[in-house]
Structures are given as structure tokens and as C-alpha cells.
Structure 1
Amino acid sequence: MQDITFANAGVVLAGSLTLPDRGAPVAGVVMVGGSGPSDRDNDTHFPPIRRHLVDAGIAVLSYDKRGVGGSSGDWLDATVDDLASDAAAALDFLRARPEVRSRAVGLFGHSEGGWVVLRTTTLRDDVPWVVTNGGPGTTPAVQDRYSLANTLRRTEGITDDEVDAALAAYDRVIEAGRRDADFAEASRLAQSPPTAFTAHAAEVDEHYWTFLKRKQDHDPVPDAMRLRCPHLAIFGAADDVVPVADSIHLFTAAACHPHRDSRATLTVEVFPGADHRVRTDGGTRLAPGYLDALTRWIIGRTGDPRA
């Protein structure tokens, strides 16, 4: 593993590049983290996946999001297009390495990173494959509402009526975002009347509100319809952050669209009992079979690195 930096659109992004100990050039993958201030390891999520991929002969590059770790800029000022452009720059950096087969480098995006890599893939015609890992097929507004509902229902002492009132408040704030309401109006709607949503909304400041309302209605389905390469969509069946069944339905509908490119196959893997990070046993380990399924699918589209 080595520390690397690459530039894109006025920012410098810092990351890690891990290369297999192979004599011949290998396939590669750029890993893109999830929402918030995600670093090159996406907290503790990426390292075990990285190790398995590298052991299978696949080079891995991951990087700190703008304003995180060693990267400049600020992710709160970024759009999905900005983040997609960063992923594209990472892709070009990895492809330029002599140890890597340039035409065998694809993208892996976790959660929000799924929206990002789908957008990256539609911006160019040279991405050979893309993986979304817990990547929603819905908009952020729909996904966040689903996550909020599950969080509230797990909270001791909150009744169904209180959950419904909190979700109604959430919906009012989302509608305010669509009107480009300012932070003061959004705060008023979240606090009056007080609901179980009020405490969650209090964690949002003005800068974050501007980011959220800009992002909330990003729809990944048009990007999925414009794909020109195979797509692997991985989910944990017990994911309480992303609506899995709805996401699979939306990705499948896009794959069945008559104008979808013939190269854009869709493979869906759902791991029973696994959470948003496709982990089981209380989030202590990746789901059985996950690493092998991911590696097998990538190698099936890049050729056996041992050959």
C-alpha cells in the first residue's frame, strides 16, 4: 500500500493505492465511500474488502472525500457531479499506472458512493463495469425517510402515531427544500410543532441544509438507464438504511428499458440477514460468501489475473 495524491477541478485528493505482487499488469478498482466525511477506508468498511481484492490480484485505489483526511476542498460544497468527477479522476490515475491494465479498471461505490459511481459511469464510455454496494435506487429524500422511519421505530417509547407525526414533519422540510427555502424556514418547520424528528433536524446547520436541499432529489434511475456496462448491485437483506426491495425494483425496471444499452447487464446479489454494509453478526463481519461473490463477478469481467 502506498499513499497517493491526484488533482481534479481545483482540489487535491489524497488516497491509498494497493497493488498485488504480480509480474504482469492487473485489473483494478476505484472504491468510493459513502455519505458524510468518508475517508479512504470508509471508516472500517473498506480494508477487509481491499485485502481480499488485492489477494485475488486486483489493484485497489480509495481516497479521502473532499475536505477529509489529506484531501482539500469541502464535500459540503460539492454536487453529485463534482463527486463523480473526482471518481473519474481517480479512475484515470489508476489506469495510468504501469502495473495496471488500463481497460480493466472499474468502479465500486458504497451507499452514497453508488449514486456517485453510476453518475461517473454515464459521463464516459470507457468504464468496463460498475458495482454499487448498498447503493440506493431511490432519491436521497426517499432513502433518508426510510432510514428515519426505521430509526424512530427502534426507539423505545415512541408510538406509531409519534412516528407518523415525525415523518410528516420530515415531509414538510423536504417540500421546503424543493422551494429552496432558507435555513430559518426549514428549522421552523422541523420544530413547530415538536415531534420525534425535531432532535434529528437539530443536528443540521445552515451549511449542511444547503447541501441537503441541493442533493435531496438526485435520481439515480436515469443514470442506471444510461449505463453502457455491466452493473452489480449488492445489498444486505436486513439493510435498515436503504429500501432494498424498492431499489432492486427500480434498477430492474431500468435494466428492462427498451433503450438500455445491450452491454448494460444487471446482476443483483442480496445477502440474507446482512446490514447496510453487508455485514452480519451484529456488524462484526462481512456476510458469508460476499467477498467471493464480489471478486468472482469482477474477475468475470476483467479476465483471470492469474492467467
Structure 2
Amino acid sequence: MADTATAGHGLGGMTMAGEVMAGVVMVGGSGPSDRHNDTYFPPIRRYLVDAGIAVLSYDKRGVGGSSGEWRDATLDDLAADAVAALDFLRAQPGVRPEAAGLFGHSEGGWVVLRAATTARVGPPWVITNSCPGVTPAAQERHALSSALRERRSARQDVDIDGSLALFDRLVEAGRRGAGFTEVQRLVESAGKAAWLGDYWAEVDDRLWEFLKRKQDHDPVPDTLRLRCPHLAIFGGADPLVPVAESIHRFGTAACRPDRHHRATLTTEVFPGADHRIRPAHGTRPAPGYLTGLTRWITGHAGGRQLL
């Protein structure tokens, strides 16, 4: 398992307090996310631990103490890492194995949905946090469109139509297997009027191959295979995720008659909150986010409810 985050320094980030009734593996978002997911996970971990929930978060492949390279991985590889982390957490003293589930933020939501459907012993519940219900290509296009509109509202000269058209050409190039040299020429030929922001800022040959592999991943088939409750959390003002469309797609899947009877769907939207479920210009979680998250976990773990 040289390429998998395994027990030891690669996993890390495991915290427990007192008598433990449940556990959660927290999976970070896109890019080189470590066990803290920048600064996002620590306050959530602290709150859950104080509520008596064991928490395990880990460095993505090639980040921090983990071996391997995330840009060489597939989504199945990342899901296998999440399953390995869940198995490790379940084996810890004080953790009830049947009460340990998965939490995935952003891209991590796609990962935990896949992990929940591929684990030999599936989790009792899964939580997606700001996870798009659409493909990565559709999500990135939405994020780019939001950024372009924001720049225009700030009176910056941007070519919205040209930039989105360039993005669409890059997606089509990825689908036909174009190499990085070809798509880099495509970007350069578009000139300064086309602005791709963070989507293209750090793309190199290795990252381009990673983006090609995952761009058309559809999370809905994984939700259809769930055999456990699913909590989908969104910030109502998330500029990176098409929230309404994501809720619609998750909800449509939940209404399928062939869905497992335990695969309930709970959707929580925090009005005005961003991708990290914070109020506008805020640094703390939206009111009710941490208490609601903890209450849902304890309620589905058969433990005590928080007041």
C-alpha cells in the first residue's frame, strides 16, 4: 500500500475524547489537501470530539506525511484511501465500528460517495459538505462563470463569453485525450481577453492528466448505490457549486423507486453561506452548522442527542 495513506504519520489527525460512541473520517477537498484541509477541519474536529465523536482526518497522497502522488490517482484510488482510513478508525479502541461514517468536503464528497459504495462493509451514514451533484467539468464551469461575473461587477474588463467558450474547448480537448502541449497552445492563442482564473493558474502536464481523468465523473450513480442515509450540506451563496442543480440531482436520485430503503436523503442549506459554510465575509461556521452536523451524526449513530 505504498500509494495509500495508511495507519501512522500518513493518516494522523485522529482525535478522541473520553467515552466514544461514534466516529467520522473527514476527507478533504481538491488539490494538495492535508489532514487539516487548510484551516477548515480543525474547528469541526474540536467540536465533534467535544461531543464524544472520534475524528480521523488524513493527508492526501503525496501531501504531508502521506506517500504517493494525488495527481496520479483516480477517484477510485482516493476512495480506496478513504475506505482504508475508515477501517483503521473502526479498529480503534472505544470506537463502535457500526457507528463510524464518512464526511467529505467539496471534491471529498465525490470521494466518500464512491467509498460508501465500494467498502466491503459500508458506512452507516455519509455526509457530503459543499459537494457538487454535477460533474467536475460542470462545477468548474459554474465556478468560472461566478468569478467572471464578480470581476465584471467590479468593473474589470473580462470577456465572459470568450472565457467560457475557451473552457468548453478545453473540456472537449480533454474528452478526446489531447495532451498538455496542445491545450496550452489553445489557451495561449485565446489571448488575454480569455480569463480562466484558478482553473488554469497551476495546471501543468501532470495536473492536466488528472483533470482529464475526473472531469466527467458523475456522482449520481454512486448516490443510487447508497445503502445508508446521506446528509448533503450546502452554503446558499457558494460561488463554486451550482447548489440548486446539485440539490435537484441528489433529490431526483433519492426519489428513484429502486433506491435502497435505508438510503434516505437530508439536505441542509445555510442561506448566505459560502463554500466552507461561513456567512459572507465571516471566518466562523454559519450559526447552527456545527450543532446541526453533530446532532445528525449522533442521531444516526444511535447515541445521545444534543440539546
Q: Which runs of 5+ in 1 are unaligned?
A: 1-6
Per the alignment, residue 260 of structure 1 pairs with: 259
Q: 1:306 to 1:224 in 2, by over 3 A?
A: closer
1:68 aligns with 2:63: yes
Q: Give 2:92's aligned residue.
A: 97
Which digits, 9 at most, give the CA deviation of each residue in 1:28-78, with x for residues without a partner?
000000000101011110111111111111000000000111111110001
**CA–CA separation in structure 2 for the residues paired with 1:198 and 1:41:** 27
Give the partner amino acid of 2:38. D
**1:306 CA displacement:** 8.1
Shift of 1:202: 5.0
Residues of 1 paired with 2:86 and 2:14: CA distance? 12
The amino acid of 1:182's aligned partner reads G
One of 164, 167, 178 as aligned partner of 1:167: 164
TM-score norm. by structure 1 comes to 0.93
Do the aligned partners of 1:107 and 1:130 also contact (CA within 8 Å) in 2?
yes
Deviates more, 1:235-244 or 1:192-201: 192-201
SS at match of 1:118: helix
Q: Distance in 1 between matches of 2:166 and 2:125?
A: 40
Q: Which residue in the other structure is 1:233 paired with?
A: 232
The question of whether the paired residues in 2 share the 8 Å contact of 1:14 and 1:69 is answered with: no
When the two chains are superposed, the root-mean-square deviation of aligned CA atoms in Å is 1.7
| 1:85 aligned onto 2:80 | yes
Paired position in structure 2 for 1:284 = 283
Q: Deviations over 1:258-296 (max 9, x none)?
A: 211111000000001100010114131100000111111
**Cα displacement (A) at 1:10:** 5.4
Query: 3-state SS of the aligned residue for 1:234?
Result: strand
From 137, 145, 155, the counterpart of 2:133: 137
Does the residue aligned with 1:131 lie in a helix, a strand or coil? Answer: strand
CA deviation after TM superposition for structure 1 residue 11, in Å: 5.3
Structure with the higher fraction of residues in strand conformation: 1
The answer for the alignment partner of 1:147 in structure 2 is: 143
2:43 equivalent to 1:48 = yes
TM-score normalised per structure 2: 0.93
Aligned pair in 2 of structure 1 residues 11, 291: CA closer, same or farther (>3 Å)? closer
Partner of 1:272: 271
Contact kept in structure 2, 1:103 and 1:128, CA below 8 Å: yes
Q: Measured at CA, do residues 76 and 285 of structure 1 come closer, stay the same or move farther in structure 2, by a change above 3 Å?
A: same
Would you say the 8 A contact 1:8–1:85 is kept in 2?
no
Name the counterpart of 1:119.
Answer: 114
Task: Give yes or no for contact 1:190–1:197 (8 Å, CA) kept in 2.
Answer: no
SS of the equivalent of 1:171 reads helix
The 4+ residue runs of structure 1 with deviation greater than 4 A are 7-12
1:128 aligns with 2:127: no
- Of 14, 24, 28 in structure 2, the residue corresponding to residue 29 of structure 1 is 24
- 2-side partners of 1:267 and 1:138: how far apart? 18
Query: Partner residue of 1:196?
Result: 194
1:4 maps to what in 2?
Answer: none
Q: Return 5+ residue gaps in structure 2 as ranges.
A: none
Provide the rounded CA distance (Å) in 1 between the counterparts of 2:164 and 2:254.
31
What letter matches 1:32 in structure 2? V
What CA deviation, in whole Å up to 9, does each residue of 1:197-236 have, x standing for no partner? Answer: 3565353111111111111011101001111000000000
Cα 1:98–1:247 shift into 2, 3 Å: same
Change (3 A) 1:96 1:237: same
Alpha-carbon shift at residue 305 of structure 1 (Å): 4.7
Equivalent position of 1:3 in the other structure? none
* 2:247 match: 248
- For 1:206, the equivalent position in structure 2 comes to 205
Q: Distance in 1 between matches of 2:34 and 2:263?
A: 30
Contact 1:275–1:283 (Cα < 8 Å) also in 2: no
Q: Secondary structure of the equivalent of 2:267? A: strand
Given that residues 128 and 229 in structure 1 are in contact (C-alpha distance below 8 angstroms), is that contact kept between their aligned partners in structure 2?
yes
